[in-house]
Amino acid sequence: MYESRILTWEHAVALRHTYRKIGMRLTMTNGVFDVLHRGHVDYLAESAKFGRRLWVALNSDESVRRIKGVKRPLVSFEDRAELLLSLKSVDAVIPFDEETPELLYQTLLPDILVKGADYSIEQIAGAKAVVAAGGEVKLVELVPERSTTNLVEIILERYGKG
């Protein structure tokens, strides 16, 4: 349904070039977004307030497995992308196969890079490149007890492993 808003890197670079020409501020964030929940929705809505467009760099399934283990993701890339794109706050999704979106951020150099306040700016992939290019890094407070890890714990507690 939203395939046209899942951008290849090449398409993203071309669009980014156009945005720069017309002075449109691009905000980016990234994540796995496995089991979309209220914490994600609130975080993305806050992130979108910083610029004219919000693009989400989304870990591919292979990337998620390397980071979180063979049992993840719980939801496929295609489904995670479709869910994100159904939100008013998200304008586009860009897949990445690496463990971090560092190279993607170095390539696109968004005007604003957003991450959750559970990170320090020094920990954020791509932050140095974005700031060096004149961009900003913003931290957004997270909704307490609203995380995929929290949801999985609740499910296991209530329903066990059997």
Q: Is the pLDDT of residue 71 over 60?
A: yes
**6 phi/psi in degrees, rounded to 5:** -95, 105
Angle at 64 between CA 59 and CA 52, to 5 degrees: 20
Q: Is the pLDDT of residue 162 over 70?
A: no
What is the model's pLDDT at position 161? Answer: 65
pTM, 2 dp: 0.92
Q: Which residue has the tokens 């670079």?
A: 13
What is the model's pLDDT at position 1? Answer: 66
Pick the closest to residue 32 from 53, 4, 9, 61 (CA basis): 61
117-126 residue pLDDT tens: 999 999 999 9
Q: Is the pLDDT of residue 145 over 70?
A: yes
pLDDT band per the 50, 70, 90 thresholds, residue 49: very high
The three-class DSSP label of residue 53 is: strand
Burial 49-83 (b: 16+ CB within 10 A, else e): ebbebbbbbbbbbebbeeebeeebbebebeebbbb
CATH number for the domain whose boundaries are 3-159? 3.40.50.620
